Amino acid sequence: MAAVTTVERQQVESTLPAARARIGMIIPSVNSMTEPQFNHFAPPGLGVNVARARVAGEWKRPLPVMAEEIATSAKLLADVAPDLIVFHCTDTSMTQGPHGEGRILEIINEATGIEALATSRLVLEASRALGLRRLLLLSPYKSNQAVIDYLSATGFAVVHDVALGLKSLEFAAVTPREWVELARKHDRADADGIFLSCTNTTQIEAIAEIEDALSKPVVNSNQAVLWGCVKRLKSALAPLPPMPRLGRLMRHLDA
């Protein structure tokens, strides 16, 4: 077998850039959209690693029942030494309420010693960075009530909401164009922004067009998490490229 030359080795090693920062994500077992979207939209140098857990859809249960599975997924992610671990499911984290969501972060941190974040808290952080208070809420869920309750408990008002009533495996079938049309149809004058809730949809691809059409900021679950992680890791990832497809939020990395 012929030896690999130094030039050949360098060519192979330079095909994919080395990660300069790394995030670990605990995603629902039914989620098919987070991985391709994060790998597509993440800036160069951000490594994205994923572990699955049965924490959503038919598997969404009381937190004490899911705690061990969340801890196990967190430990598996810890093996690649991420800088952050995100519990990445909007509906499940919001269903637990602010206190239960805090307990999820404690479970992850106690299991790994790594800083833990949750989609729900990053959605709040993103909405505040954009100065939003009154939201139009669109989701594929059977009901938005848990999301509305969480937002109300944390200082936000939902002026109108639409839940499409889909099954988990149907979420990804709604096209970006359909999310744009839903936002156009249901926009309200008293909504200062749009929240596209769910990590397992094509919503992230509709953000820029909705903002252009309605002249209002948009927050989406995957966008908010990517923004929150990049914001925390920006010194390692600099210089950051422009990310206009992710909307106005990406202008607030110093927020």
Quick one: which of 230, 228, 208 has its CA closest to 218? 208
Quick one: which of 72, 73, 83, 65 has its CA closest to 31? 73
Quick one: which of 20, 21, 51 has its CA closest to 34? 51
Quick one: which of 207, 201, 217 has its CA closest to 134? 217
- Res 61: pLDDT: 85
- Res 7: pLDDT: 57
Characterize 46-81 residue by residue with b for buried, 16 or more Cβ atoms within 10 angstroms of its Cβ, and e for exposed: bbbbbbebebbbebbeebeebbebbbebbebbbeee
- Res 6: pLDDT: 61
pTM: 0.92
- How far apart are the C-alpha atoms of 95 and 63, rounded to whole Å? 10
What is the DSSP code (8-state) at residue 221? Answer: H
Element (H, E) at 43: none
Cα distances (angstroms) measured from residue 238 to each of 15, 168, 223, 235, 247: 20, 37, 19, 5, 19
**pLDDT per residue as tens digits for the range 89-148:** 998 989 988 998 999 999 999 999 999 999 999 999 999 999 999 999 999 999 999 999
SS3 content of the chain, % helix, strand, coil (to 5): 50, 15, 30
- Res 81: pLDDT: 97
> Is the peptide bond between 217 and the residue preceding it cis, with omega within 30 degrees of 0?
no
Domains of the chain and CATH, by start: 20-121+223-251 (3.40.50.12500), 132-220 (3.40.50.1860)
- Res 60: pLDDT: 83
From first to last of the 255 residues of the chain, give the pLDDT tens digit.
Answer: 556 566 555 555 667 778 999 999 999 999 999 999 999 999 999 999 999 999 987 778 888 899 999 999 999 999 999 999 999 999 898 998 899 899 999 999 999 999 999 999 999 999 999 999 999 999 999 999 999 999 999 999 999 999 999 999 999 999 999 999 999 999 999 999 999 999 999 999 999 999 999 999 999 999 999 999 999 999 999 999 999 999 999 999 986
- Res 11: pLDDT: 59
- How far apart are the C-alpha atoms of 44 and 15, rounded to whole Å? 13
